[in-house]
Chain A
Amino acid sequence: AQSVSQHNHHVILSEAASLELGCNYSYGGTVNLFWYVQYPGQHLQLLLKYFSGDPLVKGIKGFEAEFIKSKFSFNLRKPSVQWSDTAEYFCAAHNYGQNFVFGPGTRLSVLP
């Protein structure tokens, strides 16, 4: 069965620092990849998604992610974080015949 792993459980950054959150998935075939964000007390929201085409995907709020097929990775990046980015971030994968599988999440705390 497919699995998704995220490298960090909790990341603490100061405002304006650069962010990179790691995500790896296990499936070798065609796969859709997602990053979702969950702000405190709110629902899961889609940040960005990769279906096909350009492996560098741009999402909302200045986030981007790069799909590297050879590394089975889909890392999330942001050049300069803000206090309002404090949230939990979930990587997810979806491949043919399977359902959406989520990673365990990474909690991001941004210090003002």
Chain B
Amino acid sequence: ETGVTQTPRHLVMGMTNKKSLKCEQHLGHNAMYWYKQSAKKPLELMFVYSLEERVENNSVPSRFSPECPNSSHLFLHLHTLQPEDSALYLCASSQGTALNTEAFFGQGTRLTVV
């Protein structure tokens, strides 16, 4: 148990579906992140939220839409995805985005787009 919980753990969706990934952290952190982990590629940072404000959008297609309603929760809304979007989506949190902090990760959501 890392203090960062992601649901669902596995998701299979069609290209026309709309679904959402949820992340919740119980660590009192104020920064949250979405990463994409694909086979044989580095972790790709997708979005960063600090104090519930989006501070980074790393050229992510608009079919991925993040939402951070409060400092403990982060969502990733998915619509009209492509098969190449199949990957492990990881949520992380940290105490701020300044130096001398570490990121804590959830177990990820394994997404398969069919």
Query: What residues make up the interface of A, taking CB atoms closer than 8 Å to B?
Result: 4, 30, 32, 34, 36, 42-46, 49, 51-52, 90, 92, 94-96, 99-105
From known contacts A42-B107, A90-B43, A102-B43, infer whether A96 and B99 are also in contact, taking CB-CB under 8 Å: yes
> What is the bound-complex CA distance between A55 and B105, given in angstroms?
25
| Most chain B CB inside 10 Å of its own CB: which residue of A4, A101, A102 | A102
CA distance A104 to B51 in the complex (A): 29
Distance in angstroms from B99 CB to nearest chain A CB is 5
Main secondary structure of the interface of B (DSSP, over half): loop
Given contacts A43-B2, A100-B45, A105-B42, contact A32 B100 (CB under 8 A): yes
| Complex contact B105–A102 (CB within 8 A) | no
A46 touches B45 (CB 8 A): no
Partner of A99, one of B40, B41, B48: B48
How many angstroms from the CA of A8 to the CA of B72 in the assembled complex? 36
